[in-house]
Structure 1
Amino acid sequence: MKIRDFQPADAQALYTIFYGAVHQVARKDYNFEQCNAWAPLDYDQHAWISCLIKNKPYIVEQQGQPVAFADLQDNGYIDQFFVSAQFPRQGIGAYLMQHLLQQAGLNNMPLLSSNVSVSAQPFFQHFGFFIVQQQMPVVRGIALSNTLMHKVLL
């Protein structure tokens, strides 16, 4: 495994990872309608690429193929953290989270935060994140539960 920076040519592969993570992994905690609102099959490719360019995610590659991605914003916010549903429980997410924590340390970030899905809460808790509040954001007209989580670093 190796970690590298995002390149615009990664956009389709990252959407495939995102879509699979939502529809295969998070599906146990969200219904069909919620998954479709969160990760629609028919999506705005330009908006997706713009989001990725803005977020500048780190990409985990395995055998030259993207298998996970996550970003870390300058304010310590993690907007996206997704691992391919084809590679569950292989340490890819842990490898990526360790990289984010290392980057946060190098940049003297005092706090990390993320709006975390029900499915990902145990993973984030394993890395020392704690629940700040439960939330019910509306995405494409559909309510999706998530949790604001923080991790204090300094």
Structure 2
Amino acid sequence: MSIRLFRPGDEPALFRVFHSAIHLVCARDYTAAQCSAWAPTQMDMAIWAERMRQLTPFVVEHDGEIIAYADLQPSGYIDHFFVSGHHQRLGAGGQLMARIHEDASRHGIAELTSHVSLTAEPFFRHYGFEVTHRRYPVRNGVTLEYARMRKVLRGSAIPCVPG
């Protein structure tokens, strides 16, 4: 497995990762209607491609195939973090999270935040994120549930004061 930066032309493969992650993995925590509202099968690919170009995600390849991707915005916000439903438990998520932390450190980002699915909460908790609040957005007429999660990267230690 290798991680690289997004390249134009990756957009269709990233959509397949996104769609399979939701319909094959998140389906254990969300209804079919919720999954379809979140990741419709018919997506305007021009809009999707523009969104991916704006996010400029890290991309994980395995045997020449894109199997995962995630982004880190300058604010510390992780907008997308998806591993293909066909490639779970290979370590791609851990590699992406390590890369996000490295990039955050390199850019002096003090905290990471994300809106995380019910399915991804345990994964994010494993990496030190905490739920700050819940959101219930309506997408395509269907209510979903997400957690806003946060991880302080620096400046969070309590200083020791000599007694």
Same fold judged by TM-score > 0.5?
yes
Rg (Cα) greater in structure = 2
Task: Provide the residue aligned with 2:115 in structure 1.
Answer: 115
TM-score of the aligned structures, taking structure 1 as reference length: 0.98
CA distance in 1, matches of 2:102, 2:141: 37
Deviation sequence 1:9-50 (CA, Å, 0-9, x none): 111111001000000000000001100000000111011011
Deviation sequence 1:96-154 (CA, Å, 0-9, x none): 11010110011110010000000000000000000000110111111100000000001
Counting matched residue pairs gives 154
Q: Percent identity between the aligned chains?
A: 42
CA distance in 1, matches of 2:23, 2:86: 12
Task: Provide the residue aligned with 1:45 in structure 2.
Answer: 45
CA distance in 2, matches of 1:75, 1:29: 29
Q: Secondary structure at the match of 2:33?
A: helix
Deviation >4 Å, runs of 4+: none
Map 1:5-154 → 2, pairs under 5 A: 5-154=5-154
Q: Secondary structure at the match of 2:73?
A: coil
Gaps of 5+ in 1: none
How far apart are 1:7 and its partner, in Å? 1.3
Q: Specify the code of the residue in structure 2 equivalent to 1:16.
A: R
RMSD over aligned CA atoms reads: 0.6
Q: Secondary structure at the match of 2:10?
A: helix
Gaps of 5+ in 2: 155-163
TM-score of the aligned structures, taking structure 2 as reference length: 0.93
How far apart are 1:8 and its partner, in Å? 2.0
